[in-house]
Amino acid sequence: MWSLAFFIFGFVALVKGSDFLIDGSRSIAKRFKISDWIIGITIVGIGTSIPEFSITLLSALKNEVDIGLGTIIGSNTFNALFILGLVALVYPISAKPRWINQDLTINILAVIITGIFILFPIFGGNFFELSSGEGRLLLILFLMWIFRELSKNGIDKATDKNDPALKIFSVLSSFLMIGGGLAGVLIGAQWVIDGALIIANYLGTSQAVIGLTIVGIGTSLPEITVSLRAARRKDFGISLGNIIGSNIFDFLGILGIAALFGAISVPKELFIDFGVTLGAMLILMAMILSGKKYVLQRWQGGVMVLVYLSYLFFTFQF
């Protein structure tokens, strides 16, 4: 019971810590008039992935990589299918062509490149392993992507600086929120890992399945909250950019940093779920480009939610 309590408290700390981190980051970004898409795909996208980052890094340091890998894979599949599907059911998502043709394509390439590195020992290591050298390359690719996105600041200037729904804090308050949010996320991540390990042992369920489902979905709570709030205000740059930015950071940034602390072995059975994540991204791309182009409609969102629920059912069954 204590393990379950800390597991739940850990998630609360993760979500609330992420909220402070996101609000502080957005306030800083808005003060410099950065576009909503840039905010969504970089600052908010990375900010909402801090729970996954904390859990994956700490699990790698504790040699419990199955939970970390499961969290990354489970979170990305949940993000692409369930979150965007749910948002589209409530508020159909309108996207700009370059968001899909460029950034969503980069998201798909990030998954493919990571998969190739895991399958083959390109920069040292073994098969089904992410070596330190490959982790460094993933991190370089991530930094190149960040530089590319930030260099586009002049394309879309922010227009909602005076939006009453968006709170702009002082610079000092913003940095205090960021620091406090990071502390809450790190503490929450530690509680979630410890609780997940005990729960997995108690239920006789593998750590990978716990990561794919309970932890992966739980760490995506900041993404679903941000995306729904943004879509309600018709701010689809943040709603969609938050998911794409989070997914790119997960595969290139988080796994890249985690691999720096030692090679990450990937169980073959977990690599199947890795393929499911790639399939989820391709489904998202196909849905947005079919029907009413660059619009994720309600019926498409419903299909995506059903696909995810089917995947969840088979994960527990097999």
Query: Which H or E run contains 264?
Result: strand 264-265
Query: What are the structural domain ranges in the chain?
Result: 2-317
Can you tell me the distance from the alpha carbon of 168 to that of 94, in angstroms, rounded to the nearest whole number?
26
- For residues 129-149, give the mean pLDDT: 92
Q: Which residue has the higher pLDDT, 98 or 155?
A: 98
Query: Which band of pLDDT confidence, cut at 50, 70 and 90, is reported for residue 159?
Result: very low
What pLDDT is recorded for position 37?
Answer: 78
156 band by pLDDT with thresholds 50, 70 and 90: very low
Q: Domain 2-317 is classified in which CATH homologous superfamily? A: NCX, central ion-binding region (1.20.1420.30)
Q: Which of 103, 94, 35 shows the shortest CA–CA distance to 252? A: 103
Q: Which residues are CB-neighbours of 65 under 8 A, at least 6 positions away? A: 59, 264, 265
Residue 248: what pLDDT?
94
Q: What band does 287 get if pLDDT is binned at 50, 70 and 90?
A: very high
Nearest-CA neighbor of 90 among 215, 228, 207, 187? 228
Report how far residue 141's alpha carbon sits from residue 136's, in angstroms, rounded to the nearest whole number: 9
Taking 60 as the threshold, does the pLDDT of residue 14 lie above it? yes
Q: Is the pLDDT of residue 309 over 90?
A: yes
Instruction: Tell me if 131 sits within 8 A of 262, measured CB to CB.
Output: no
Give φ, ψ of 15 to 5 degrees.
-70, -50
**Residue 164: predicted pLDDT:** 47
| C-alpha closest to that of 94 among 225, 232, 237 | 237
Give tens-digit pLDDT for 87-132.
999 999 999 898 899 899 999 999 999 999 999 988 877 899 999 9
| Residue in the block written with tokens 């995810």 | 308
200 CB contacts (<8 Å, ≥6 apart)? 206, 207, 209, 210
Mean pLDDT of 240-264: 91
- Would you say 222 and 51 are in contact if contact means Cβ atoms under 8 Å apart? yes
Q: What is the pLDDT of residue 265?
A: 87
| Burial classification of residue 75, based on how many CB atoms lie within 10 Å of its CB (0-12 exposed, 13-18 middle, 19 or more buried) | buried
The Cα 289–Cα 285 span in angstroms is 6
Query: What are the residues whose beta carbons fall under 8 Å from the beta carbon of 219, sequence distance 6 or more?
Result: 14, 51, 52, 55, 71, 75, 192
Q: Return all residues near 27 (Cβ < 8 A) that are at least 6 apart.
A: 167, 168, 169, 173, 174, 177
Q: What pLDDT, on the 0 to 100 scale, is given for residue 318?
A: 61
